Amino acid sequence: MDRALDNKALVERVIEICTRAGEAILDVYNSSAELQVDTKADDSPVTAADLAAHKVLAPALAQLIDGVPVLSEEQEMPSFGERSQWQRYWIVDPLDGTKEFIRRTGEFTVNVALVDKGEPVLGVVHVPVLDITYAGVKGAGAFKRSAGGEEEIRVRPLQPRLDAGAAVELVASRSHGAGAVDQLVERIESSLGSVACKNMGSSLKLCLVAEGAADLYPRLAPTCEWDTAAAQAVVEAAGGTVVDDQFQLLRYNTKDSLLNPFFYVIGDPSFDWRELLTK
């Protein structure tokens, strides 16, 4: 069996596992019982839905590839000494967008990525409320699957839209980093023209760039590696790129902390964003 078929079979298995995790989340989301919200050591919220999804994902992923460990937000973190020995591993956010889940906006996702030597090479982002799944594999492209079927997705070029007088479409967090993003919007407007900004929760922001529905997602507030790896794999498989604030490719498992640097999700890597974003 060639590598493409291997990847196709693997991504289908991951989608099936993520869909089951999404069903576990919806069981809590749609329950008439009052939602209990606890607070973790880092002050982030956690619910029964986060834990239910983790209980589906962790054991199922551990069985997919022999010897490939699972790193989930909802587990005790292995030391960097242990993690630094990993060549490949699954990184999981069982419920990305817990705050949106609590607010009942529907803007939350199940995120699973396979990381190989620091690079996310396969990613699945499942949106339980909408029953939509984004997936991407390095070298094999990206797609979006919904009740209406499956379509290949691709980032869009920016310059033709600028030439036509269209606005730069930027997507930003609903909850974090608004002041810094406002300053960036002013810089983009002074250089490129009008900017249309849409606010949204969870890794859906990266997926909008991947499917050509937005040009840029600046993340100028803290995130963790499990927040971004799956959607980064989708973005890169769709032809985009994700770079840190030094314009280096965002990479994983390179240090003790699991916090990401600030970063930019760029739909059109051929456009010269560097000078504008690194001022």
Cα 32 → chain centroid: 29
38/215: higher pLDDT: 215
pLDDT of res. 224? 95
pLDDT greater than 60 at residue 68: yes
Q: pLDDT per residue over 170-224, tens digit each?
A: 998 866 556 888 889 999 999 999 999 999 888 999 999 999 999 999 999 899 9
Band of pLDDT at residue 2, cut at 50, 70 and 90 = very low
pLDDT of res. 37? 83
Residues forming the annotated binding site for Mg(2+)?
73, 93, 95-96, 227
pLDDT greater than 50 at residue 1: no
Residues forming the annotated binding site for substrate?
73, 95-98, 227
pLDDT greater than 60 at residue 109: yes
Give the residue carrying structure tokens 């576990």: 24
Residues forming the annotated binding site?
73, 93, 95-98, 227
pLDDT of res. 44? 80
pLDDT of res. 178? 67
Whole-structure pTM value: 0.94
Q: CATH homologous superfamily for 3-153?
A: Fructose-1,6-Bisphosphatase, subunit A, domain 1 (3.30.540.10)
Q: 250 Cβ partners below 8 Å, 6+ apart?
A: 228, 232, 242, 243, 244, 260, 261, 263
Q: Does the domain at residues 159-277 carry the CATH identifier 3.40.190.80?
A: yes
In this prediction, residues 25-38 reach a mean pLDDT of 86
Helix (H, G, I), strand (E, B) or coil at 257: coil
Strands 149-153 and 216-219: unpaired
Kindly state the helix (H) or strand (E) to which residue 163 belongs, with its residue range. helix 159-163
pLDDT greater than 60 at residue 111: yes
Domain boundaries, the chain: 3-153, 159-277
Band of pLDDT at residue 246, cut at 50, 70 and 90 = very high
pLDDT of res. 6? 84
**Cα–Cα distance measured from residue 279 to residue 270, given in angstroms and rounded to the nearest whole number:** 19
In this prediction, residues 162-174 reach a mean pLDDT of 92
pLDDT of res. 5? 45
In this prediction, residues 22-43 reach a mean pLDDT of 85
6/72: higher pLDDT: 72
Give the residue carrying structure tokens 């994700």: 242
pLDDT of res. 177? 53
Mean of all residue pLDDT scores within the chain: 93
Q: What percent of the chain is modeled with pLDDT above 70?
A: 96
Q: What percent of the chain is modeled with pLDDT above 90?
A: 80
pLDDT greater than 90 at residue 4: no
Could you tell me which of 212, 187, 211 has the C-alpha nearest to residue 275? 187
In this prediction, residues 21-45 reach a mean pLDDT of 85
In this prediction, residues 124-130 reach a mean pLDDT of 97
